[in-house]
Amino acid sequence: MRADRLVAALLLLQARGRVTAAELASELEVSVATARRDLEALSTAGIPVYPQTGRGGGWSLVGGARTDLTGLSAPEAHALFLLAGPLASGSGEARAALRKLVRALPATLRADAEAAAAATVVDPSGCGERNRDRPEVLGLLQQAVVRGHKVRLAYFSGARERTERLVDPWGVVDKDDVFYLIAGTERGQRTFRVDRIEHAESTGQPAERPDDVALAEAWSQVVSEVERRRSRTWATIRVAERFVPVLRDQFGKHCHVDGEPVRGQVVVRLGAPTPLDLARHLAGWGALVEVVDPEAVRAELGRIGAELAARYPART
């Protein structure tokens, strides 16, 4: 868990004053490249960790070695907990370490540190490509959540329509390094994909946030609604059992095997937004798949087949 490594790296820097990426890699039992990325992440987040080149170089904390976390300034504590908080969400050990870090901070910094740790949650269900470049506005949005300030957004929808919004930021969700802002608007709760935000500005005005809002629960509701829209149409098919893993890769959560195999064939339920979406996914399977129902999906497959036959007539 990266949260563990970030905390360990900071504590090691405090204890030794200076470490090389190779030394940190040896201590944390990771590659040198991973150790270097962790050090760069601490530095980028605003914690005063800087590299020094040449003989005797390495990475060090500005101001010299420290023996505990009580030497952290308020901005440094913010930066650390913005990094470590969401990454600790999937690890009991990391959460325990985070609680110990909070207790090690001066009382005046604890509330802000806890708010920073809760500003972002990680969706553990993601399985896509990670290590994307983080949007430039991400840090501003996280700080606005921590400080409770309204944010003015210039936002492009999925259809590339540009709008300007004044929102109350409630929290940020990290799903495979694609970030989403959950916020209150004049029309209620809304979700904004952060990489579609062209510009963001914190207004300094107090944001409104209902007392009963829990970021993880709010995101769960968003996911449930998206899943519902993605599976408004269901089809029943018969297919060879050996192809089920391929269908699961293709349809994800919207692929359910119904019953036991019969002579190597299984019945599978598949979901998608419309009959046409299902037909487009299944057309490439040809005769390997038999669509039992609904008739709307069978009709769309027939239409697609007729179009293909007309454009690419069989050659004798």
Mean pLDDT, rounded, for 280-285? 93
Contact 127, 176 (CB under 8 A): yes
SS3 284: coil
Residue 157 has a pLDDT of 83
Highest mean pLDDT out of 1-5, 89-93, 169-173, 245-249: 245-249
* 254 CA to centre of own chain: 20
The pTM of this model reads 0.48
Greater model confidence, 305 or 99 = 305
Q: What is the dihedral of CA 257, 258, 261, 264, to 10 degrees?
A: -60
Residue 152 has a pLDDT of 94
Q: How far apart are CA 181 and CA 143, in angstroms?
A: 12
> What does the mean pLDDT of the chain come to?
77
Model confidence at 313, pLDDT cuts 50, 70, 90, reads confident
pLDDT per position as a tens digit, 162-193:
999 899 988 888 776 788 888 888 888 888 98
Judged against a pLDDT cut of 50, whether residue 122 lies above it is answered with yes
Greater model confidence, 128 or 18 = 18
pLDDT per position as a tens digit, 235-266:
999 999 999 999 998 888 889 999 899 999 99
**What are the residues whose beta carbons fall under 8 Å from the beta carbon of 250, sequence distance 6 or more?**
281
Greater model confidence, 147 or 281 = 281
% of the chain residues with pLDDT over 70: 66
Judged against a pLDDT cut of 60, whether residue 302 lies above it is answered with yes
Model confidence at 154, pLDDT cuts 50, 70, 90, reads very high
Q: What is the dihedral of CA 67, 70, 76, 79, to 10 degrees?
A: 100
Domains annotated for the chain, with CATH where assigned, are 2-118 (1.10.10), 138-212 (2.30.30), 231-311 (3.30.70)
Mean pLDDT, rounded, for 9-29? 78
DSSP-derived pairing of the beta strands 120-122 and 162-175: parallel
Residue 128 has a pLDDT of 43
**What are the residues whose beta carbons fall under 8 Å from the beta carbon of 57, sequence distance 6 or more?**
20, 51
Residue 155 has a pLDDT of 92
